[in-house]
Structure 1
Amino acid sequence: MNERKTSTLAIISLVAGICGWTVLPLLGTIAAIITGHMARGEIRRSGGTLDGDGMAMIGLVLGWLQVVITVLGLLFIFLFLGGLAWFASVAS
């Protein structure tokens, strides 16, 4: 019987994705995205000998979701709060 091994990169992607939301926001997010893409490619090329596509996908989702939330937060800060500051300066 041939057992499938779990991709190490998939595990790293999942752990990095969790770290991106907790202790290492920038580094964990970047590592989750990079290793997630690498793991999915490695799993596809393995011909069925590697497992862990779900873990790699969760790592990718956690990483990209962190990027989207960060970009939206920055847009809010610069556009909305900057607009308020502009409005306050024009109104006074």
Structure 2
Amino acid sequence: MSYGTPPPGGGYGQQPYGAPAPQHPSATTALILGILSFVLCGPFTGVPAYFVGKRAEREIAASNGTLSGDGMAKAGWILGLVSIILTVLSLIALVVIVIVVAVASSSNA
């Protein structure tokens, strides 16, 4: 049983017009730095992730659709910001603990 020749283009539907916009290279960098800020390096990669991601997001918005990757840039700077906030909160908690221990040890002496 033969079904005839397949439709042109392989039968997968109409392909979108034109090529997709190239991805901004800094968007990938920001995402990688943001992930590394959680996994390994904390503020050492969190701060650059924030600034690289914000810059890439601005450049993508200014490109009027000629660049893509805004989601990765946004994820990168958000991960960097969360990493910075967690680092600051950890440092504040460490200072509070040191002060509490110092006060407790001086009152027992």
1:7-55, Cα deviation, whole Å (9 max, x unpaired): 1111100011112222333331122111101101101100111111111
Q: 1:69 Cα shift?
A: 0.7
Structure 1 partner of 2:46: 29
After TM superposition, list the pairs within 5 Å mapping 1:41-80 onto structure 2.
Answer: 41-80=58-97
* Higher helix residue share: 1
2:22–2:68: 8 Å Cα contact kept in structure 1? Answer: yes
1:50 is paired with a residue whose SS is coil
Partners of 1:21 and 1:88 in 2: CA distance: 35
1:9 match:
26
Residue 20 of structure 1: aligned partner? 37
Matching residue of 2:56: 39
Return 5+ residue gaps in structure 2 as ranges. Answer: 1-17
Gap regions ≥5 residues in structure 1: none
Q: Which has the higher strand share?
A: 1
Q: CA deviation at 1:2?
A: 4.1
Structure ID, larger Rg: 2
CA RMSD of aligned residues (A): 1.5
Secondary structure of residue in 2 paired with 1:4: coil
**d(CA) in 2 for partners of 1:32 and 1:75?**
22
In structure 1, the residue matched to 2:5 is none
The TM-score normalised by the length of structure 1 is 0.88
The answer to whether the Cα contact below 8 Å between 2:43 and 2:84 also exists between their aligned partners in 1 is no
Tell me the secondary structure at the aligned position of residue 5 of structure 1: coil
Aligned sequence identity (%): 29
